[in-house]
Amino acid sequence: MLKNKNFFFLLYGQSIANIGDTMYIIAVISSVYTLTHSIVASSLVPTIITGAMVGASFVSPLVTSKVRLNRILLITQAIKAVVLVALIFYIQSGWIVKNIFGLYLIISIIAFMDGFAQPVSQAILPRYAAGSELIKANSILNISFQLLGIGGWAGGSILLVWFSTKTILLISTVLAIGSILLLCQLDATSMRHQSNKSNVWYDLLSGWKAIYHVPILKFTAIISILDTVANSVWISSIILAFVEKTLKIPKYWWGYINATYMLGGVIGGFVCYQLSQQIQKNMARSIFFGALLTGIVTFLVAINSNPFWLLGLSILVGAFGELKDVPQTSMIQSHTNKYILPSVYSSLTVLYTGTFSLSSVVFGMLAQQFGVRAVFIISSSLLVIISTLVYSRRNLYQI
At residue 153, the pLDDT reads 60
**Which alpha helices (H) appear in the chain, and where do they start and end?**
5-36, 39-64, 69-92, 95-98, 100-123, 125-128, 132-162, 165-183, 200-213, 215-231, 236-241, 253-274, 276-281, 283-303, 307-334, 341-370, 372-392
Q: Tell me the pLDDT tens digit for each residue of 236-246.
A: 667 877 887 88
CATH number for position 98: 1.20.1250.20
Overall average pLDDT of the 6-12 stretch: 88
152 with 220, same domain: the answer is: no
Give how many domains the chain has, as a whole number: 2
Q: Count of CB atoms within 10 A of residue 1's CB? A: 4
Q: Which of 151, 183, 215 is the last residue of a domain?
A: 183
Residue 43 forms part of a structural domain: yes
What is the per-residue pLDDT across 265-308, written as a single tens digit (0 to 9) for each?
889 989 998 988 888 888 889 999 999 999 999 999 999 989 89
Is residue 373 in a domain?
yes
What is the spatial distance between Cα 50 and Cα 55, in angstroms, rounded to a whole number? 9
Name the average pLDDT for the chain: 84
**pLDDT value at position 320?**
94
**DSSP designation for 124:** S
**For 321-377, what is each residue's pLDDT tens digit?**
999 988 988 888 888 888 888 889 888 988 888 888 788 778 888 888 888 899 999
Q: How many CB atoms neighbour CB 196 within 10 A?
A: 6
**Total-model pTM:** 0.80
Enclosing domain of residue 249? 200-397
Confidence at residue 191, expressed as pLDDT on a 0 to 100 scale: 65
Q: What is the pLDDT of residue 139?
A: 87
With respect to residue 189, please indicate whether it lies within any of the assigned structural domains.
Answer: no
| Higher-pLDDT residue of 144, 389 | 389
- Please state whether 131 falls in left (phi above 0), alpha (psi between -120 and 50) or beta: left
| Residue 374 Cα distances to 72, 261, 308, 362, angstroms | 44, 20, 21, 12
Q: Check residue 223 and give its pLDDT.
A: 93
Q: Average pLDDT in the 313-323 region?
A: 93
